[in-house]
Chains A and B, each alone.
Chain A
Amino acid sequence: MKCDLSLRKRREIARAVLEGLHGFQYYWPERNEVYNALDALAQAKEAKLVMLSGQAGAGISSILEAFASKYHGQVILVTPRVYSERLNMIGQVLHAIFPFSEFRNHNRVPDSLIAFRKGGRKIIIFDDLDIITNQNNMHEVAFDQLNQLVGFPGYFTVIMSTRCKKLMRDYFAIKRTATTLIPVSGLVPASCTQDVINSFFERCNQQYRTNIHPSCMAGLGAPEADMPIDRIVFECESVYCAELLNLIPRASEEERKADGKRCLSIAQERVSQIRHTVECCVFI
């Protein structure tokens, strides 16, 4: 680790890492397939409804953020937000373009959105559709409005994600609009986990100019199966920050010899302890 970083600076870095601002993304074959499918959508000329479906922690929000960032000029990203007034789905799209402005509600796609569509903004992303519709009590009419956005004259491609079973059922019942389902698996094969850890530490070291070695993860657990990406990243974040703040007790020479071989994953309980200690040091 770089010695010249003050405690204040190290705490700032740890805070950013714990808040997920490191921006780390890992690409393994299954994940690349998702990105390729989204890339194909960005290039496609026809409008359609696209649903990303996967378990909690599969990284759907991260995928959508990365996609929105890559196609910045083409994408309107609608995320859950608290509004002073009830806004329908179309209204929320306009608000996503100008987040600090207020506009009246629209029952049909307004000309302004169509004009912005001509300007290149042709993809609308609704991340966590269930929360967005819940906030505005729009469950019943959500897909009607989304269909309007996909149809004439807007011709937007709408990408959304949800784990709400009712919305999924409604989505599968859509007949008059072209739909695509992209399954997202969050499981990283056991053979790739070490690569995830190395990549994470490399990314953070590069971004925050630190020098923390991934070997600090060794000796804290034993991974033998495929693991969800969010769990690996959670462990990496916790251990990286703990090492940055010198919060992991050094193992004795005997303990190290007793471990025998290097291990990758950490016992869940131990991770929680480390995370708790780090958060206490950083946020309190």
Chain B
Amino acid sequence: MKSKKFSIPQPFPDETLSSWMWRVNSTATIPLISHERFSSPEGEILERDEQGLRGEGFADRDVLSENRFIEPLMRIFGISPEWLSKRFPAFSQLSIPIQFRRAFCSECLMESFQHVGIPVSKVQWCYLAKPMCELHGVPLHDSTRLFIEHDDYSVQALVSYLDDPKFKETQDHVRSAGRLTHSLAFKAQQHFQRLVKRARKSGDELKVQMFMITLMRTMMMPAYHHAYPNVAFHNWGGTNPYMGLGIHADFFLEIYRSTCLARIHALYFSAIALGWISSKQAFTTTRECYFAPWRVDQVWSRLDSYPSVLRIVALELKNYQTQYLNLADLDSPALNRMSYDE
């Protein structure tokens, strides 16, 4: 690696490939990535949504094999592919598709700006089951700028967070209004991450993740929407509200477009269903959301009128059972019965 010779900034731990490349770009005498691209967004959000929902893929700038600037970068700065692969390994967890990626932690961005003069994006913000900042223990924000539209996403996210009218105030209010719920959701997130780590050793990592994502998908179904704060539905998938595309599309796809706040609540309700959060703990949060379920039976009773959803959940969860997470943990007679029936 010839980075010393060219004084290439070293990547920070957990920094995304695109964030590091933008930092390299900013220190280069002649920028490698032109800002011309910013002025030509790749289609409107609605169009992207439809493409995304049809299953079309988008090149992910945070993935080595898909970033089209990697080749010139390696050539110009004399960087070896081995070094890059070592510093920017593939995502280790299920991630948000690039067209919907826009989560960030304002505190992390500000700290990195003060430290290195440019905000730095983190890999953990790309993960579906990590809607809260690991470092600060606070909910991530959903930027009004989409990652796919900006090569300098972290810069745009920070500046728009500070400059967009009322955006910062709203986000700060959301954080303070749901403090109890968020702290319990953060505990659940940490618990889940420990579980994933343990499952990695036995090769069950993906199944454990899928089990949790399936639970989160369930908790995002319309039957639970009354328990979500209204703001969780703002800018769902960008500028669009929750679409209501039918049972299967709602179940499988909406989690990708959802806001961080929606994923936090989905994680929180999943943790109640799994018994990670006791009913006593959950009850304390009713002052933040009166309609939120706080007991396991309350969580599952919401699906009593939706047998088709329950059937999908049972089928899915059955596939992803492991010693770490299984149907028995959920304490739902209806779900257990259905999984045996199928």
Contacts and interface: CB of A to CB of B under 8 A. Distances in A.
Interface of A: 94, 97-103, 106, 110-112, 115-116, 119-120
Contacts of B31: 100
Interface string B32-59: 0101001100000000000000000000
User: How extensive is the interface on chain B, given as a class?
Assistant: 20 to 34
Interface stretch (B152-160, B209-217, B238-246): B152-160
A103 B35 contact: no
Given A99-B26, A101-B152, A110-B162, A119 B110 contact: yes
A100 B25 contact: yes
Contacts of A112: 158-159, 162-163
A110 B159 CA distance: 9
A111 B114 contact: no
Contact of B35 (A101, A110, A116): A101
A102 B113 contact: no
A106 B168 CA distance: 17
A119 to B, nearest CB: 5
Q: Is the interface of A mostly helix, strand, loop or mixed?
A: loop
Q: Is the interface of B mostly helix, strand, loop or mixed?
A: helix
Contacts, number: 44
A98 B118 contact: yes
A202 B158 CA distance: 45
B36 to A, nearest CB: 9
B159 A102 contact: no
A262 B13 CA distance: 60
A111 B163 contact: yes
B162 A98 contact: no
B173 to A, nearest CB: 16
A250 to B, nearest CB: 38
Contacts of B152: 98, 100-101
A103 B159 contact: yes
A111 B160 CA distance: 10
Nearest to B158: A112
B119 to A, nearest CB: 9
Nearest to A72: B117
Given A98-B152, A100-B25, A115 B39 contact: no
Given A101-B35, A101-B155, A116 B113 contact: yes
Contact of B114 (A98, A100, A106, A120): A120
B38 A102 contact: yes
A149 to B, nearest CB: 16
Contacts of A98: 26, 118, 152, 155, 159
Contact of B168 (A99, A111, A119, A120): A111
13 contacts: A98-B159, A100-B22, A100-B25, A100-B35, A101-B35, A101-B152, A110-B163, A111-B162, A112-B162, A119-B110, A119-B113, A119-B114, A120-B114
A212 B117 CA distance: 39
Nearest to A110: B163
Contacts of B163: 103, 106, 110-112
A263 to B, nearest CB: 40
Interface in B101-116: 110, 113-114
A120 B114 CA distance: 8
A97 B118 CA distance: 8
A112 B163 CA distance: 6
A115 B162 CA distance: 8
B207 to A, nearest CB: 42
Contacts of B25: 100
A110 B35 CA distance: 22
B101 to A, nearest CB: 18
B48 to A, nearest CB: 21
A102 B160 CA distance: 12
Contacts of B113: 116, 119
A24 B47 CA distance: 56
A96 to B, nearest CB: 11
